[in-house]
Chains A and B, each alone.
Chain A
Amino acid sequence: MEELLAILEELHPEVDFRTCCTLVEDKIIDSFDIVSLISEIHSEFDVAIPAEEIIPENFNSAAALYRLIQRLEEED
């Protein structure tokens, strides 16, 4: 989780990712962030997020994104 928070905080140092769970609805992250996140998650966790998992529910909070990473790691 800490590694993921570090990636997110580098993208948006002004956001508290520990508490925010409306990243998509409140337009805190945009399409550029999604692409950056997927590429950085790939190099940090060695997890490729498949296209069908790129949905708002998985990107709305750091926790949701972390759950996705864990799930994908297990499936691997």
Chain B
Amino acid sequence: MQINVLEYLEETILRVPEKIAYANETESLTFQQVFDNSRAIGTFLKKSGYTKEPVVVFMKKHPNVIAAFFGTVYAGNFYVPIDEEMPFYRIELIFQNLHPQVLICDKETQKQVKEFSYQGKVYLYDEIVQTIVEEERLSEVRKEAIDTDPIYIVFTSGSTGVPKGVVACHRSVIDYIEHLSEVLGLNEETIFGNQAPLYFDACLKELYPTIKFGATTYLIPKSFFMFPVKLVEFLNRYQINTICWVVSALTMISSLGVLNKVKPEYLKTIAFGSEVFPIKQFQIWRKVLPETTFINLYGPTEATGMSCYYKVEREFLEGEIIPIGQPFANTRVYLFNQKNCLVQQGEVGEICIAGTALTLGYYNDPERTEQVFVQNPLNISYPERIYRTGDLGRYNEKGELLFISRKDDQIKHMGHRIELGEIEANVNLLEGIFASCCIYSAKKDKIILYYVGEIEKAEMAAVLKARLPRYMVPNYIEQIEEMPLTPNGKQNRVALKQRYENRN
């Protein structure tokens, strides 16, 4: 039985060593190079005494990042990808949670690292990749390894203002990749066009099936997602046949009329998720690519990646919702009502997930882990962990699961999961702020901030840009005289929403 994700790579290397594994527009790594480079890095880390530790990977999006990830795992550590565009303030918060001792950077990010308060070791990828591989050290690591050892930590938005580090292990990733591959029909011929940043779990969909099958992944530069004609041309140039993108990346192409001008010629499978696909936009895609398989994916970072899928095989009318369908094999979904009982057919309940695809929890954060990774309320006889997603769902008359809404103030914007509370927490930290309230307009897909205080709007925008990741910075900011309150004295979100909708 497979117990380590690296076994994927080690088997593939025997079949297709010279094939391209990961590439961008100008550079690529073959499987042999991925194998050699990651083992060199693994040897270096182990030799330097790092094992079972978080290794921060702070590099520009590039095939080498993936070799750094696997190198970290070769030494028995877990990688923590940090984005070069992340604001310092957020990186500091992450480091306070992580207490990292070792960081891998590239020539471009090296300068940025000097500005961190981080005191641990900093290694340059280009240097440590020159290490001569020592088989003995690597097998020593492997002999001790078990499949519940962590592989990575990715950070997700936290409503208190402090991000949460989700820890995934070999077992959860293998389980996820096996079932995802089956659902998407992946194989050696698969050519992925990766959209997701490498610092989110979303990129697992490409990174791991690539080494499992000997497939190929092209990393598409972020800037291409601003200029959709170039993006489609990129897909055609590299004959990309499989994409797993956030809905907003797909709707950008269809809503701007790009598909009338240039058509993706090779796409066989389009998996989408993280947001609801507006039917009007979906139909444009379907019409242009009638032979393509469209699959809706749903799942939280806490369950490693995706937990449910739905292959779109029937017609959908405007106003209908594409279901999230059914759980992957070896994953179970429960819908619990507020009394922690299973809902009746057609009733709305909280989506809760069970299975080995669950991650280990939040790093250095037992309190927040215990709030959502809980004992299955149906079982009082032995420990059985489930994850409470906070998403509300129900089954339709066909028995397909539908996502309805959130239980709390978490939103999805441009495919990112965002706690509105985290934005507010950052605003409230500023001097001279009396009150703040963030709302989300689904119609406009905009995050809207209202605040009462002495700071000018432009300064507020600048400060938030320096503290929050780009996708969390409000798209509309307004300073107001007084915060509207409900009769109970709470901030009146409904009134603010009306104010936003009614403005000129």
Contacts and interface: CB of A to CB of B under 8 A. Distances in A.
B458 A14 contact: yes
Given A36-B475, A51-B258, A56 B227 contact: yes
Contacts of A14: 458-459, 461-462, 465
Given A14-B458, A35-B255, A35-B256, A54 B475 contact: no
A11 interface: yes
A34 B228 CA distance: 10
A37 to B, nearest CB: 11
B261 A51 contact: yes
B113 interface: no
A54 B470 contact: no
Contacts of B458: 13-14
Main secondary structure of the interface of B (DSSP, over half): helix
Contacts of B445: 32
A51 B230 CA distance: 10
B477 A13 contact: yes
A10 B257 CA distance: 25
A19 interface: no
B229 A54 contact: yes
Contact of B229 (A12, A24, A35, A51): A51
B261 A52 contact: yes
B334 interface: no
B498 interface: no
Contacts of B470: 30
Nearest to A49: B256
Question: Which 4 A-B pairs give the minimum distances between C-beta atoms?
Answer: A14-B461, A14-B462, A13-B458, A51-B258
Interface of A: 10-14, 24, 27, 29-32, 34-36, 38, 49-52, 54-56, 59
Given A51-B229, A54-B228, 17 more contacts: A11-B475, A13-B460, A13-B461, A14-B465, A30-B226, A30-B470, A31-B249, A32-B471, A35-B255, A36-B475, A38-B256, A51-B257, A51-B262, A54-B256, A55-B227, A55-B229, A59-B226
